[in-house]
Chain A
Amino acid sequence: MDLIRGTLDLLVLKALSWGPMHGLDVLRWLESTTHERLQVEEGALYPALHRMERKGWLAAEWGISDNNRKARFYRLTPAGRRQLAAEQSRWAHYTHAVQLILTAEGAS
């Protein structure tokens, strides 16, 4: 299943809400969480990360990965946390509305 446009940001924010991660870990977390049901063109992750960094939702820092390599770690800033909350509730409203439509019983 391809990702619906505009949801990548939300998913990344959610992934990072568990703690600082580098890009690869973010993808791995998404894969394992969705049991590999979502397909993302992996490269698209990086412009998204950098864009959110520029917006101030994420902060980046160089650190050492589990296999002792230099990696760029991202973490949520307070602004990012607020953004996540807002996106989450917007998403909930949206899916709820879609759900209502899909479960409606004919026109009245």
Chain B
Amino acid sequence: MTDRDDRLGRGARRAFRLPRSGRQVDAQVDEELEFHLAGRVEELMAQGRTREAAEAKVRERFGDVARWRREATSIDHGQARQERRADLVDTLRRETRQAVRSLFRTPGFSIVAALTLALGLGAATAIFAVLDGVVLRPLPYADADRLVWIDHKVPKVGVRDRWKLGMINYFDFRDNVPALRSLALVVESRMNLAMPGGDPVRVRGAVASASIFPTLGASSPSLGRLFTDADNAPGAEPVVVLGYEFWQRAYGGDQAVVDRTIDLEGQAVRVVGVSAPGVALPQSAVDVWLPLTMDPARAAQVNEHAYSGIGRLADGATVEQLQQQLDARERLFTELYPGVYSAGFMEGTGFAPAVEPLHEHVVGPAVTRTLWVMFGAVGLVLLVACAHLANLFLVRLEARRRETALRAALGASRGRLAWRSLTESLLLTLTAAVGGVVLAHLALRGLLALAPPSLPRLSDIHLGWIHVGFVVLLAVGIGVVLGLFPVLRGGVDLGALRDGARGMTSSRQRNAVRGALVVGQVALSLILLAAGGLMLRSAARLHAVSPGFDPERVLVLDVAMPQGTYQWRDYARVAAVHRTFMGELAQVPGVVSVGVVDEVPMGSADGWGCSGMGFEGTHVKEFVCVPKSTVSPSYFEAMRIPLVQGSAPTWDEVAGGSNGVVVSQALAEHFWPGQDPIGRGVLANTDKPPYFRVVGVAGDVRLDGLEKPPTEVVYFPMVPDSGLSMWGAARNASVMVRSSTDDATSILSAARRVMRGLDPTIVVDNPRWMDEVVAASLSRTTLAMLLLSLAAGMALLLSAVGIYGVIAYLVGQRRTEIGIRIALGAPAAKVGRDVVLGALKLAVAGVAIGLVGAVATMRVLQSLLYDVSPTDPLTLGGVAVLLLMLAALASWVPARRAARIPPMEALRE
């Protein structure tokens, strides 16, 4: 088929039996019947009848005129409809084919346009998938929105500090708070599970009240039974419920596992059941569930806040109601449970219950904020890509003005023109959507590999149908806007048909639209560049901060001693194991030095905890909460933390019990400003002397992360002097192995070999390099930086291409004008300068708008920045200059071309 009808126009429609409209059909049938009746009447009149007689006779012979008319027209209407439909299908098919052909005819345009949009869509979709999985989607529990997290605020201890629930909270709230349908206490703990005929393995344990399963909405087991309250009673038989996935993995789904006895932490425990598939704690999978020992009598005597509280709201109850009811209950606590809560304690800590939806607790405002910032950033990139695309389409539209006008003049309807343009844009955007989905898939894989382990709900991030739908919807929306844009904008300009209509001034309005798009692109790019720049500067500052120790080539290994054989007061035994272990490990080739510590610096996503201590002779009267670290004498050497004063106790001093502690410089300056800290007393876990005595001052370290100030920390010996109180032996500790090799596996296997010789029930595992631990602690900001920089880079590229495209096009359009100016004697240099200035004018407008936007929006980055102001003038100025230079560069090529236009050739065109 060809475009025959278009060239023929309206006049030729009838000749080619083009479909008639409904009105035409009626008129034609009327005319035909009229001819018949009139002819007959004439015939009869010619035979001598009067007109009246003739008409009566004709009417009689013809029958019911209205009926025959109706029958004939209804047949024709049917046909006309059919023809119109066929014609429409035909037209659409033809226009579609034309649209495809024209996309293929200009592959450069098509590829650039589709790729641009695919990048924008892919980025937006990937981040949307993350946002959806982490923030928007409910937690994987039945009626997850009814779950709450309950803990305590202690504003007088620390504004942001939270203390968990005590056992007494469980017994009291369970029976007296109607807004709670159920309440569960749980403690997460890693455990050693002895495997018959093999090394013991570390498993993730959850020690919980029996109510944990109904609270999480998982009260039916896969096998055997779950817990009952009787399992929580003191002296109950030790039992365990296996997690479904762990049962599958470790026992191959063996049904006979029920009633078997396994060895957990050196204790024999009977398996009573297997949980339903997928049952886990909000932040962690669970391999084994153990019943928490809960004794109401003991609970009423002990002030401890060690248990995570997860509650399920009663039907119809709200978080606010629950909060009020808990507040009301705890006001009675000093009377009800004087053995636990003294008025002084309540007063001194500001102790009060706090409720928040579980989802909020798990995800947290910082993560939510970071993800929304990233979503905003990719949204901006998508906008820049759309502006770029709109520009490409405008240029193309311009080139087609004559063709479109010609087609319109020859009778192509607005609908047909719209269809063609719509098909073209939709084909393009939907192709881009396919590319976008592929890119999003790849991006997500990269993102998940890079994502900080502290990012919650990582396993809930998937690219699902809803995200694919999101891309397609976006693509269709963009395609419709782009496709209908030319049709809506003033429609068809028949003036384009006039010869030489490619005049000098006729498209001023169109150029203004294009200019505005470039200004918008530059402005958005500036905002993204500012974000990327700020993150980069912040990262540079952060990486310049010294952690206070040397993380290079330090291998961290976890050592876990089973609870059953090593009691929490077995300081000397535990220290002896560590001492022998480290002594033998230090002999292994490749090992330089070895130290042991109970908690790895920067190793915890939640931050370093603190412990209650007192400091002799300070202005601080009460107990204060200060970070502690239990270390071996060799720890400072292995981590290369300098001792600026005094020295750490030696192994020989420690082995029999020592009262010597080392404090960090920051702590010494805080508590004993301007005084000699050596010999000062420190109280640990008690408010009564005897004191530990400071024997050394160590260089400052940042245990919570590089972005935090130096930590005020007290380093305790592994064995305290008898009569001194501490927090328990370092049964679960980490060995820091400074080595001269990069071979973690050989060190690990050497360490395991050594440990097997000492005590085969002790697990050595989880090898990781210290510099990776440091990097991981930065990974949240690193990821944000990486993504924002990528977004900024994409925006930069797109706006450069955009500026170049528009300037080049304008120059091409003004060839004639420029030719005349050169012919009239304008110097080529001035012509070129004018072109560059024209581009710079657009860029300056864009930069100005962008700067205002950046100042207004960069505050959202505040929490991600380290030591950089969100309106850092250096960064904002830098990116502004960068964009202006880019604009000048992008217009330089077209400017040179303009200056070289041979006047005669330009005039002849």
Where the two chains meet, the residues of A that have a C-beta atom closer than 8 Å to any C-beta of B are 22-24, 41-44, 46-47, 49-51, 53-54, 62, 65, 67, 69-72
CB nearest neighbor in A for B83: A54
CA of A70 to CA of B67, assembled, Å: 23
Q: Which residues of B contact A46 (CB under 8 A)?
A: 29, 32-33, 36, 68-69, 71-72
| Residue-wise interface mask of B (62-102) relative to A, using a CB-CB cutoff of 8 A (1 in contact, 0 not) | 11110111011001101100000000000000000000000
Most chain B Cβ neighbours within 10 Å, of A22, A41, A44, A50: A50
Q: Which residues of B contact A50 (CB under 8 A)?
A: 29, 71-72, 75-76, 79
Cα distance A50–B39 when bound, in Å? 20
Instruction: Check if B35 sits within 8 Å of A47, measured CB to CB.
Output: no
The answer on a CB contact under 8 Å between A41 and B63 is: yes
Contacting pair A42 B62 (CB below 8 A): yes
Q: Which of B28, B39, B71 has the most CB of A within 10 A?
A: B39
Report whether A72 and B32 are in contact in the complex, using a CB–CB cutoff of 8 Å. yes
Q: Give 8 CB contacts A-B under 8 Å.
A: A22-B32, A41-B62, A42-B62, A43-B63, A43-B67, A44-B68, A50-B72, A50-B79
Say yes or no for B40: interface residue by CB 8 A criterion: yes
B254 within 8 A of A: no
Q: Point out the residues of chain A lying under 8 angstroms from B33, CB to CB.
A: 46
A54: which of B36, B42, B67, B78 is its contact (CB, 8 Å)?
A: B78
Cβ contact within 8 Å between B39 and A24: yes
Report how far A50 CA is from B64 CA in the complex, Å: 17
Flag whether B4 is at the interface (Cβ < 8 A).
no
Most central of A47, A51, A70 by chain B CB within 10 Å: A47
List chain A residues, Cβ under 8 A from B64.
43
Q: A47-B72, A54-B75 are in contact. Are A24 and B35 (CB under 8 A)?
A: yes
Question: Interface extent on B, as a size class?
Answer: 20 to 34
Mark B774-800 against chain A: 1 for CB-CB distance below 8 A, else 0. 000000000000000000000000000
* Total cross-chain contacts (CB, 8 A): 67
A41–chain B nearest beta-carbon distance, Å: 4
- Is B905 an interface position by the 8 A CB rule? no
Residue among A23, A43, A70 with the most chain B CB within 10 A?
A43
Q: What secondary structure prevails in chain A residues at the interface with B? A: helix
A14, chain B: closest CB distance, angstroms: 20
Q: Contact check: which of A44, A47, A62, A72 meets B75 at CB < 8 Å? A: A47
Nearest chain A residue, comparing its CB with the CB of B42: A67
Smallest CB separation, B128 vs chain A (Å): 54
A46–B64 alpha-carbon span in the complex (Å): 12
B40, B67, B75, B78: the one contacting A24 at CB < 8 Å is B40
| B31 interface hit (Cβ, 8 Å) | yes
User: Given the complex, which residues of A lie within 8 Å of B71, measured CB to CB?
Assistant: 46-47, 50
How many Å from the CB of A48 to the closest CB on chain B?
Answer: 9
A60 to chain B, nearest CB (A): 9
In the complex, residue of chain A having the shortest beta-carbon distance to the beta carbon of B25: A50
Is B619's CB within 8 Å of the partner chain A?
no
> Are A43 and B62 in touch, CB under 8 angstroms?
yes
CB proximity to A under 8 Å, residues B29-68: 29, 31-33, 35-36, 38-40, 42, 61-65, 67-68
Flag if B32 contacts A23 (CB, 8 Å): yes
Question: Which residues on A sit within 8 Å (CB–CB) of B75?
Answer: 47, 50-51, 53-54
Q: 9 other contacts beyond A47-B68, A72-B31, A72-B35, with CB at 8 A cut-off?
A: A23-B32, A23-B35, A42-B36, A46-B33, A46-B68, A47-B72, A50-B72, A69-B35, A69-B39
Instruction: Tell me the bound Cα distance from A71 to B34 in angstroms.
Output: 10
- In the complex, the answer to whether B35 meets A65 with C-beta atoms within 8 Å is yes
CB neighbours (8 Å) of A54 from chain B are 75-76, 78-79
A51 to B73, CA, bound (A): 10
Residues of B within 8 A of A22 (CB): 32, 35
Q: Which residues of A contact B63 (CB under 8 A)?
A: 41-44
